[in-house]
Amino acid sequence: MSGAAQARVSRDKERTAEAFEEHRRLLWSLCYRMTGVAADADELVQETFLRMQEARPSRDEPLRPWLVKVAVNLSRDALRRRRRREYVGPWLPSPVDLSAEEVFATQAAPDDLEARLELRDTGSYAFLLAAEALTPTQRAVVLLCEVLDYSGKEAGRALGISEGAVKVAHHRARRALQDLDRASLRPDRKAKERAREVLEKFLTAAAMGDEDGMRALLSKDALALSDGGGRYYAALNPIHGADRVARLTLGLARKRPDISSFEWVEANGEPALVLRYESGGGGRKVKLAPLLLMRAALDADGRIRALHTVLAPRKLTRLPVAG
């Protein structure tokens, strides 16, 4: 390789490293909201910068729009592949620490608190669960237009579709998301404290074998979802109703008395409990997870309407840590 070629390669590597440092958090936030899986977002960001090295976009072309275009389309493809595969049991998003992530920080003015809160909404568990009802293109359009403030024309250019198709996708996405509970997207301090208190009481009742006490803390139509990713023991179907949710949780508490530690963390802006066990699956036929995260969503009366338990190792790669 000639000296000039070596110098060009060196400049390209330096440019990529600088771009990675400047844009990786924005791209990671975008990929996470597109896929709902932190480990997928890690891989997609790496792939985006590999594409940059291979394609070497012109220095005259603004870099961030180019990177966003690559990242969002890689994410669309990843989401399509995931949905074509059969997933074992219910699917839940990865829990992450939004405060450490600085959600789309470069998109809001430093003193624009309302804008920052709106941006954070798209990283909430409520949004990520609701976004599973969207097509990959609809999900991309919502993030590009409502979070990154792209025009219809700019979003269409990024996604390779017409401006009219963007408008249709955006309309259908907003209609699918219209029942989102805004309070659940952005809980205040009192709501967070209440959620933690109720979940703590519920699990204490489970440890004591108090099924009636557990049932009193559940809404009549409570729903429990457990994501073991096919790796660990978990309910393969959603569990509906207070009686069934209480019995399931009580049965699991009896199976797993070997808790070695627990800690409260903030996952996706809400309190969650991380439980670690002395023993994992070992050589058992049915493998028991050594680690899990549990969160609860409350109804208007302060009872648990949804109980989410994440056990799949791939979903816990960015497990929040206690502050």
Residue 243: predicted pLDDT: 97
Answer whether residue 240 is part of any domain: yes
Q: CB count, 10 Å around CB of 268?
A: 21
Answer whether residue 155 is part of any domain: yes
- pLDDT, tens digit only, all 323 positions of the chain: 566 555 555 666 677 778 778 888 899 999 999 999 999 999 999 999 999 888 767 777 788 999 999 999 999 999 999 999 999 999 999 999 877 554 444 444 444 434 444 555 788 999 999 999 999 999 999 999 988 889 999 999 999 999 999 999 999 999 998 877 665 667 888 999 999 999 999 999 999 999 999 999 999 999 999 999 999 989 999 999 999 999 999 998 998 888 888 899 999 989 999 999 986 554 455 588 999 999 999 999 999 999 999 999 999 998 876 54
Residue 13: predicted pLDDT: 67
> 181, 210, 228 — which closes off a domain?
181
Answer whether residue 321 is part of any domain: no
Report the distance separating Cα 220 and Cα 304, nearest Å. 9
> 161, 181, 201 — which closes off a domain?
181
Are 201 and 177 members of one domain? Answer: no
Are 80 and 105 members of one domain? Answer: yes
φ and ψ of 270, to 5 deg = -135, 155
Are 127 and 225 members of one domain? Answer: no
Residue 260: predicted pLDDT: 86
Report the distance separating Cα 323 and Cα 316, nearest Å. 17
Quote the tokens at residue 300. 């208007």
Tokens 């199976």 sit on residue: 255
Are 109 and 191 members of one domain? Answer: no
Which residues, in sequence order, are bridge partners of residue 273?
264, 294
Residue 106: predicted pLDDT: 42
Q: Letter for the amino acid at 107?
A: Q
Residue 100: predicted pLDDT: 59
φ and ψ of 275, to 5 deg = -115, 130
Indicate which CATH number applies to the domain containing 222.
Answer: 3.10.450.50
How many Cα neighbours within 13 Å face the side chain of 12?
16
Domain that holds residue 105: 3-181
Following DSSP, what letter does each residue of 217-251 receive, concatenated?
Answer: TEEEEEEEEEE-TTTS---SS-EESHHHHHHHHHH
Please list, in sequence order, all residues whose beta carbon lies within 8 angstroms of the beta carbon of residue 58, skipping any fewer than 6 positions away: none
The number of domains in the chain is 2
Beginning with the edge strand found earlier in the chain, give each strand of the sheet holding 239-240 in spatial order. Answer: 239-240, 218-227, 304-310, 291-298, 270-277, 259-267
Of 111, 117, 116, 123, the C-alpha closest to 30 is 123
Answer whether residue 39 is part of any domain: yes
Are 158 and 211 members of one domain? Answer: no
Are 62 and 168 members of one domain? Answer: yes
Residue 98: predicted pLDDT: 79
Of 300, 315, 298, 307, the C-alpha closest to 239 is 307
Are 171 and 306 members of one domain? Answer: no
Residue 55: predicted pLDDT: 79
Are 12 and 132 members of one domain? Answer: yes
Residue 120: predicted pLDDT: 55
Contact 207, 213 (CB under 8 A): no
Are 217 and 299 members of one domain? Answer: yes
Report the distance separating Cα 202 and Cα 216, nearest Å. 9
Are 74 and 197 members of one domain? Answer: no
DSSP state of 180: -
Are 165 and 251 members of one domain? Answer: no
Are 238 and 176 members of one domain? Answer: no
